[in-house]
Structure 1
Amino acid sequence: MIRQATKKDIENIMPMIKRVVSVMRKQGNEQWDQSYPSAVHYQKDVERGELFVCEQADQIVGVCTISSRGHEEYPLISWSAHEKSWTIKRLAVDPEQQGKGITDQFFRFIELLAKQKDISYLNTDTFADNRHAQRLFSRNGFAFVEARRNEQDQAELYYYEKHL
């Protein structure tokens, strides 16, 4: 079941994120680390009403931020549309639960919620070395928009979009 997160959920989200980061590092993916995403990020997401969790048997097995605000570089991206959109951020599934369709559940949930709120456009991004996220976006109907180098840490980011 996917539901809106509460402040209390953060204490269960962060140990899961630590496990996710460990798996990402072993795969050679340095997109996340000990400082990102942090409890502060998730706290702000909860306060904005943007954080959602997937819960199974009273255990949080996934988390996702659905934001009405893109990242600071988003106005510079060559999106195919410049309409009201939602940005998918900080999507993570407990490594012990990966491969069970939880990310696909999140995407179906996001699309249904977006349609209910008259949002017809989704966007997101990931690091160039995060092949897992790239496959996930493609599998869920997102189209690659462009690659752009992040000047702060020299990482190359890939941007994706989906029209509903």
Structure 2
Amino acid sequence: MEYKFRKAQKDDASQIWDILQQAIDRRKEDGSKQWQDGYPNPDVVKNDIEKGVGFVLTDRDKIVGYSAVLINDEPAYAGIEGKWITNDDFVVVHRVAVSSDYIGQGLSAQILKHIQSYALDNNIRSIKADTNFDNPAMMKIFEKLGYVYCGEVFFRGSARRAYEKVLE
């Protein structure tokens, strides 16, 4: 496998949406409430790409994973119930999803490792992310990669677990 991580382009939108739909279905099958309220949706993907914050993981020419990667752009994080480790610039990770054909191959962790490189390339030493309380797989990945649980943040009326990783 030859994985690459790059900015998403307009032509990628339908493949990205397919991957997100697969992830939405998996979350539902797992009994999760995450992503069961019409979010994310094709407009979210379109906006990510237009703003230059959508990123894809590819296996040769095939898109196998997706994430939105923003810098200093998550207003909900200002209202954390808890405390972030740092208050400097940070990269935000949202909407990590992997194709059903590639589940169990560690690609979510690989996406997060690429995001660490992206942060360092931008001279940023903090990555912040969140996930639903009913997403143990993502919590396990965060903890395995050295993210620290910092408290709760709130999106669309519900609490989510907030994590931060400080990069060396």
Structure 2 SS opposite 1:89: strand
> Which residue identity lines up with residue 71 of structure 2 in the other structure?
S
* Partner-residue secondary structure (3-state), 1:54: strand
- Secondary structure of 1:159's counterpart equals strand
Match among 130, 133, 142 for residue 137 of structure 1: 142
How does the TM-score come out when normalised to structure 2? Answer: 0.89
Give the CA deviation at 1:57.
3.7
Name stretches of at least 5 consecutive residues in structure 1 with no aligned partner. none
Distance in 2 of aligned mates of 1:57 and 1:6: 16
| Aligned twin of 1:14 | 17
Runs of 5+ in structure 2 lacking a partner? Answer: none
Counterpart-to-counterpart distance in 1, 2:58 and 2:115: 16
Find the residue that maps to 2:115 and give its secondary structure. helix
Pair 42,69 (structure 1): closer, same or farther in 2 beyond 3 Å: farther
Dislocated runs of 4+, deviation >6 Å: none
Check conservation: 2:17, 2:45, Cα contact below 8 A: no
Contact 2:27–2:33 under 8 Å retained in 1: yes
Q: For 2:143, what is the secondary structure of its paired residue?
A: helix
Q: Which moved more, 1:134-143 or 1:96-105?
A: 96-105
Among all aligned residue pairs of Structure 1 and Structure 2, give the percentage whose two residues are the same amino acid: 25
| Structural mapping, 1:102-117, within 5 Å | 102-117=107-122
Read off the aligned partner of 1:92 and give its amino acid letter: A
In structure 1, how many angstroms separate the alpha carbons of the residues matched to 2:152 and 2:51?
A: 29
Residue 119 of structure 1 and its aligned partner are, at CA, apart by 0.4
Distance 1:119 1:27, change over 3 A: same
In 2: Cα distance, 1:116 partner to 1:31 partner = 31
The within-5 A match list for 1:22-37 is 22-33=25-36, 35-37=38-40
- Measure how far apart 1:101 and its partner are: 1.9
Q: Which residue of 2 aligns with 1:88?
A: 93
What residue in structure 2 maps to residue 72 of structure 1?
Answer: 75
Given that residues 18 and 34 in structure 1 are in contact (C-alpha distance below 8 angstroms), is that contact kept between their aligned partners in structure 2?
A: no
State the superposition RMSD in angstroms: 1.6
Out of 38-47 and 83-92, give the one that drifted further.
38-47
Q: How many residues align?
A: 162
Write the letter of the residue equivalent to 1:87: V
| TM-score normalized with structure 1 length | 0.91
Q: CA deviation digits over 1:73-111, x for unaligned, max 9?
A: 211222121101010001100122011121122122111
Give the partner amino acid of 1:142.
Y
